[in-house]
Structure 1
Amino acid sequence: MRARIVTFYSYKGGTGRTMALANAAWILASRGKRVLVVDWDLEAPGLHRYFHPFLPDSELRSSPGIMDMVWEFATAATDPAIPDEPDWHKRLAAIQPYAVSVEHDFLEPGSIDLVPAGRQDHLYSTLVSTFDWNNFYERLGGGGFIEALKGSMREHYDYVLIDSRTGLSDTAGICTVQLPDILVNCFTLSNQAIDGAEAVAASVHRQRAGNQLRMFPVPMRVDDGEAERLEQGRRYAQAKFGRYLSHVSDPDAYWGAVEVPYQPSYAYEELLATVRDEPLRPASMLASSERLVAYLSDREVTQVRPLEDQERRGLLRQFMRHVPLEPAAPAPSDPERPGRRVFITYAYDSPDHFEAVRELWFLLRAHGIDARLDLPPGQRQEDWPRWQREQLLGA
């Protein structure tokens, strides 16, 4: 099968785009696919945080990436001693030297390699802010370099998942127009977010006319707290994006399948749903990720290969920051209380409390306890008092 290059894009930030990409990568790798994930969100790189327990250089202090690659090409392209041959740049476009392996045993030959945005040292922000993308394309032949990079990605992987920066920019254009076979267009269900995402979709559609690109619009952070407004947002999004789904046989089923739910517990840490969520829970973040992957893979992959419960809890503990990795002694069982729920509230204006509560929440979840966090003021809906009371009564 020809390798598929998939860009995850969002017009506005805060959609959960990067987490959706990371979950998709794990699901594909768990079923034996060779996956490359590329952090092209150069101004705010963060894809690596979803894999930090599995990376030898978890903060990427010494791991070069996209910025290092394009700077090396730009430097070579302006060198008077540049080789007089048409394919000289292909050597610099080889992706393998920049790929960092995620150290986890997937079903053979499954794997995840990460290409970072760039080495996260004191020079990184300068490299990003001073790079001239117009010069890269117009004078240095950067378009040919990107095509060579694209070919190198296809050569070594089954799926390439690219995390694009938000908004409108030169680098977003590379990720949405030149590179992908598939564009996952992520948006929340506000009118502004829908309009912005659709405007980008229309622009990409015009620029890729005659060069097939499949687009999957995906509503993110879907909160069912206000049913009427939710339905209005759904109808508006479906009307706006309907013309981009001609490749989908049943658009109604598609819209019902790919929505990503809003779950407050994921707001506190970069955590994979493939690790946190148990399988076969239709309303979970994991299940929504599986349904999206089914569309991206033409149903070749429809479910994650489940982790054993002990392994899943061990991985969950590895995601915790500042918490010992040794398992705590198991709590004594109580036949009168088959399920245990803990509800945690705290002083929201205290950073110290926030850190302590987050670690407590992860520790409880890692040991199978249904721990739930109260919502901070900025995330409360009108029915928050009733919701909080229900949580307290059930704890």
Structure 2
Amino acid sequence: MTTVLFEHALQQAINFVQTHQADLGKPVLLVRDLFGRIRIAIERSPDEPTSIVHTQLAKTFSDTLQNYSPTPDAVFIYGNDLFAPEAVFNSPDRHRFEDSDIFVLDRQITNQDWLRGPLQTTEQQTHPPRATLFGIKGGVGRSTALAVWAWHLAKNGKRVLVLDLDLESPGISSMLLPASYAPKFGIVDWFMEDALGQAEMVLPDMVGNSPLVTTGMGEIRVVPAAGASEGDYIAKLSRTYLDLNHGENTVTFAERLLALLEQLEHQEQPDVVLLDSRAGLHDIAAISITRLDSLALLFAINTPQTWQAYRFLFTHWQRWGQKQLPGFHNNLKIIAGMVPEIGVADYLERCRQSAYDLFADTLYEEDNGTNNDVFNFAEMLSDAPHYPLKIHWNRAFLEFDPIYQQELFDTTLVQAVYGSFLEDATLLTLGENL
């Protein structure tokens, strides 16, 4: 007998349910635990004849899935035997398998937020435009682009709020704030104090004013990952991602991050908010991209490693999140970073083709001409999510330190490297040209 591995177990469980749907009823929920073991959840216990059938099915299911099933006596979960059945059968992480009557609840330690919908705002008002800058791989010029964009917006009179959410590897805050301008506290301090109900003690001292712009222009207000008074960053970071239990209610890390963002927006009254998200498939990136109602600028360089990494994410969205996240994918936009100095047109064509293949294979829906809401874009449409905005590579920005190299903001140089990106990204975010 072939050993069942993780990558096959769920599909085998789905096949089993489809084969025995008449005896299991509809709907059926498959619950996969942290070790990958799968159980069958049904809302009510069956009557005695069906119970005997379930006992037989449990043995077959356990034999079929081998180590990815519990023992036969633990295969079935019945809702009326649970203390809080709604936490299972109405979980926000329950996802329908394709168009069937089978649902899957995948218990994961991390990465649940990639499939959760946008958070409901706690403020009874609209928020300022937000943009998240994200790279599936590091070293693609994301933070440098954010610094230049913040400068461009401020130069044109905008009040810009920047959050350094790359907590494991802070960067943008040190690019925009010299040590003498750093505020007393940072993002990890807020989460530390929020857990004890005293976040208001640090909020007023979390924002520094970047000296990158001069009087009479706009402003760049920066919220660093760590404040100037940082004593033990690692100890605070290790406690940052906590969900909080308040009686019967749980406040998730995502909800706490939204609360922080809204409090800062209320305090600072920015025209636009730029979020520097950490690279990779991390929870904070998931929240920034899918849950904060922000434009998601996805940085890429045209390498197989980049597109394969994005394919892992997009395939995950395709399989489980397409119907659960309506409208979310309209916020996506590919950024071609570090476009080489030679062969520009050919490079951009290859990058566009790679991005189109990614979207077409995963998120784009089949357009049969009868559904006006279908998510599908022509390959050469410049407004399409896959059609990349471009940022050119330039040696001058290789070791960019904007505070002490302000000559690099010479209009000609910035225009040559970032001009089209600044124009297009600003139009997408603010709906206006500056």
Taking structure 2 as the reference length, the TM-score comes to 0.56
1:8-38 Cα deviation digits (max 9, x unpaired): 1111100000111111111112222211000
In structure 2, relative to structure 1, the CA distance for the partners of 1:258 and 1:98 (3 Å cut) is: same
Judge conservation of contact 1:176–1:204 (CA < 8 Å) in 2. no
Tell me, yes or no, if structure 1 residue 209 matches structure 2 residue 317: no
1:175-210 Cα deviation digits (max 9, x unpaired): 222224211111111122123235435656838713
Counterpart selection for 1:219 from 332, 336, 341 = 336
Tell me, yes or no, if structure 1 residue 48 matches structure 2 residue 48: no
In structure 2, relative to structure 1, the CA distance for the partners of 1:140 and 1:92 (3 Å cut) is: farther
2:394 aligned partner:
263
1:212-244 Cα deviation digits (max 9, x unpaired): 451111011111546766643432123324667
Tell me, yes or no, if structure 1 residue 65 matches structure 2 residue 197: no
* Counterpart code for 2:186: G
In structure 2, relative to structure 1, the CA distance for the partners of 1:15 and 1:125 (3 Å cut) is: same
1:354 aligned partner:
none
| 1:274 Cα deviation from its structure 2 partner | 7.7
Counterpart selection for 1:131 from 212, 216, 239 = 239
Counterpart selection for 2:282 from 169, 177, 194 = 169
The 5 Å alignment of 1:134-173 reads 134-136=242-244, 139-155=250-266, 156-173=269-286
User: Matches of 2:409 and 2:255 in 1, distance apart?
Assistant: 42
* Counterpart code for 2:357: A
Runs of 4+ with >6 A deviation: 244-250, 253-257
Tell me, yes or no, if structure 1 residue 22 matches structure 2 residue 140: no
User: What is the SS of the residue equivalent to 1:260?
Assistant: strand
Paired residues, what number? 283
User: Matches of 1:197 and 1:274 in 2, distance apart?
Assistant: 34
User: Matches of 1:93 and 1:151 in 2, distance apart?
Assistant: 16
User: Matches of 1:282 and 1:34 in 2, distance apart?
Assistant: 20
User: What is the SS of the residue equivalent to 1:270?
Assistant: coil
| 1:247 Cα deviation from its structure 2 partner | 8.9
Judge conservation of contact 1:4–1:154 (CA < 8 Å) in 2. no
User: What is the SS of the residue equivalent to 2:221?
Assistant: strand
1:54-78 Cα deviation digits (max 9, x unpaired): x4625x4x631110000111233xx
* Counterpart code for 2:180: D
User: What is the SS of the residue equivalent to 2:132?
Assistant: strand
1:283-338 Cα deviation digits (max 9, x unpaired): 72231442333333355134xxxxxxxxxxxxxxxxxxxxxxxxxxxxxxxxxxxx
* Counterpart code for 1:46: G
Percent pairwise identity: 22
Judge conservation of contact 1:36–1:159 (CA < 8 Å) in 2. yes
User: Matches of 1:222 and 1:140 in 2, distance apart?
Assistant: 42
2:16 aligned partner:
none
Structure 1 unmatched ranges of 5 or more: 77-88, 303-395
* Counterpart code for 2:168: E
Structure 2 unmatched ranges of 5 or more: 1-125, 365-374
Judge conservation of contact 2:380–2:387 (CA < 8 Å) in 1. no
Tell me, yes or no, if structure 1 residue 294 matches structure 2 residue 410: no
User: What is the SS of the residue equivalent to 2:175?
Assistant: helix
Judge conservation of contact 1:165–1:171 (CA < 8 Å) in 2. yes
In structure 2, relative to structure 1, the CA distance for the partners of 1:217 and 1:107 (3 Å cut) is: farther
User: Matches of 2:156 and 2:132 in 1, distance apart?
Assistant: 20
User: What is the SS of the residue equivalent to 1:251?
Assistant: coil
1:346-385 Cα deviation digits (max 9, x unpaired): xxxxxxxxxxxxxxxxxxxxxxxxxxxxxxxxxxxxxxxx
* Counterpart code for 2:297: V
* Counterpart code for 1:124: Y
User: Matches of 1:96 and 1:296 in 2, distance apart?
Assistant: 31
Tell me, yes or no, if structure 1 residue 181 matches structure 2 residue 294: yes
User: Matches of 1:160 and 1:69 in 2, distance apart?
Assistant: 18
Q: Between Structure 1 and Structure 2, whose CA radius of gyration is higher?
A: 2
In structure 2, relative to structure 1, the CA distance for the partners of 1:230 and 1:66 (3 Å cut) is: same
In structure 2, relative to structure 1, the CA distance for the partners of 1:178 and 1:136 (3 Å cut) is: farther
* Counterpart code for 1:209: L
Cα RMSD (Å): 3.7
User: Matches of 2:334 and 2:187 in 1, distance apart?
Assistant: 26
Q: Which has the higher strand share?
A: 2
- Higher relative contact order at CA 8 Å, sep ≥6: structure 1 or structure 2? 1
User: Matches of 2:429 and 2:287 in 1, distance apart?
Assistant: 22
1:225-273 Cα deviation digits (max 9, x unpaired): 4676664343212332466796999733778872111112211233389
